[in-house]
Amino acid sequence: MSKRILVSSLIGFAVIGGVAAGGLAVASAATELTVENSSARYVAPSDGRAGSITFTADVSDDSGIRGLKVLAWPASSKLDPTEAELRSVDSATCRSTSDETSRCTYTAKVTKAETADLAEGTWYVSALATAKDGDTKFVPRAATFAVPR
Q: Which of 18-27, 79-88, 123-132 has the lowest mean pLDDT?
A: 18-27
For range 72-89, the mean pLDDT: 96
Q: Which residue has the higher pLDDT, 127 or 7?
A: 127
The reply to whether 27 falls in a domain is no
Q: Is residue 26 part of a domain?
A: no
Name residue 58's amino acid: D
For residue 6, tell me if it sits in a domain.
Answer: no
Res. 56: pLDDT tops 60: yes
Q: What is the side-by-side order of every strand in the sheet holding 65-74? A: 65-74, 121-131, 136-147
Domain-located, residue 97: yes
Please check whether residue 135 lies inside any domain of the structure.
yes
Tell me how many domains the chain contains: 1
Domain enclosing residue 118, as ranges: 34-147
Tell me the average pLDDT across 81-86.
97
Largest CA distance in the chain: 92
**What burial class does residue 139 get, using C-beta atoms within 10 Å of its C-beta: 0-12 exposed, 13-18 middle, 19+ buried?**
buried
In angstroms, rounded to a whole number, what is the distance separating the alpha carbons of residues 26 and 20? 10
Average pLDDT of the residues of the chain = 86
| CATH number of domain containing 102 | 2.20.130
- CA distance linking residue 36 with residue 84, whole number of Å: 21
E strands present in 20-64: 34-43, 51-60
pLDDT beyond 90 at 149: no
Reported confidence tier of residue 116, pLDDT bands at 50, 70, 90 = confident
- What pLDDT score does 47 carry? 87
**Rounded to whole angstroms, how far apart are CA atoms 126 and 87?**
11
Domain membership flag for residue 61? yes
Any domain includes 23? no
Asked if residue 73 is part of any domain, the answer here is yes
Q: What is the rounded distance in angstroms from the CA atom of residue 46 to the CA atom of residue 25?
A: 55
pLDDT tens readout for residues 21-31: 444 444 445 57
